[in-house]
Amino acid sequence: MKFANNILETIGNTPLVKLNKVLGEDFPALVLAKVETFNPGNSVKDRMAVKMIEDAEKDGRLKPGGTIVEGTSGNTGMGLALAAIVKGYKCIFVTNDKQSKEKCDILRAVGAEVIVCPTDVTPDDPRSYYSVSKSLAEQTENGWYVNQYDNLSNRETHYEQTAPEIWEQTEGKLTHFVAGAGTGGTVTGCGRFFKERNPNIHITGIDTYGSILKEIHETGEIHPENAYSYITEGIGEDILPENYDMSVIDHFEKVTDKDGAIYARKLAKEEGIFCGYSAGSAIAALKQMQDQFTEDDIIVVLLHDHGSRYVGKIYNDDWMKQMGWLD
């Protein structure tokens, strides 16, 4: 009989799917989507959540019966929660009020305690979800603060797992890799793996207006005061996480909140691939960059999470109309 011993053994080996319609008939290159929604927690974050926990177990940071504390936009929390259920840990997750209600409800459904903090505060403000999650971990007996932003197990996961899968699936023939840029783990880990094997593979991080990642990449300077609030979920930062290695990223492409939402809906209606906000941003970015590609290119675009996380927002006609993005 063939079966998994627990849900964590089903993580990975996600399919690579050709995109046929969403980018238009005139799009020159072959575009293959790495559909990470096939992971049990419906996002790419399942991968690194398990590795971060296992690495912390090995070096004693996470002890038996401990409590996992993390600031999350929802997807990392889901991956951590699934691992916690299997391994016997408690979870406290801190998020911000920009995230969809569905994400908070899902985290509570898998047994986590969820605390919501304001979005429009600086990262070092004691009310920010960075500050609250860190202080909660210090105050919680046998608590462990995951810190996906600076925890290098994050990017190592994608170097060890995600990128080798893509390399095998494409037989090493990909010419471009495109992924949303948030904590930096996926784009850096995959980028490093691909660059080591073929320095000519072009690595693009998808950023959003209001984030400072593109500015840091182009100037080498960090100016948190240039960050401002945005609606897109899952990508962009107002800090520079330690997971970033900007030397393996060739370009950051910014996408508006509106275009990310519209292209997520197009992806669902035209390809039957029901994905989240950052996936829409990635597809919109490819369309913006269309003139940079040729018919010889093979582009792999990573689709980060599932559309069910956003049914109250980008997949809700009333919300889209309130935003002025739908006639």
Residues identified as active-site: 45
Rounded CA-CA distance 125/118 in Å is 10
Rounded CA-CA distance 17/53 in Å is 30
Show Cβ contacts of residue 192 under 8 Å, excluding neighbours closer than 6 positions.
Answer: 155, 159, 163, 245, 248
Of 148, 16, 135, whose CA–CA distance to 74 is shortest? 148
Q: Do the strands 143-145 and 251-255 form a parallel or antiparallel pair, or are they unpaired?
A: unpaired
CA torsion sign, 164 to 167 to 168 to 169? Answer: positive
Q: Which two tokens stand for residue 146?
A: 């995951």
Q: Which two tokens stand for residue 33?
A: 């989507």
Residue 290 carries which DSSP code? G
Rounded CA-CA distance 26/111 in Å is 47
CB atoms within 10 A of CB 97: 11
Q: Residue 238, SS3?
A: coil
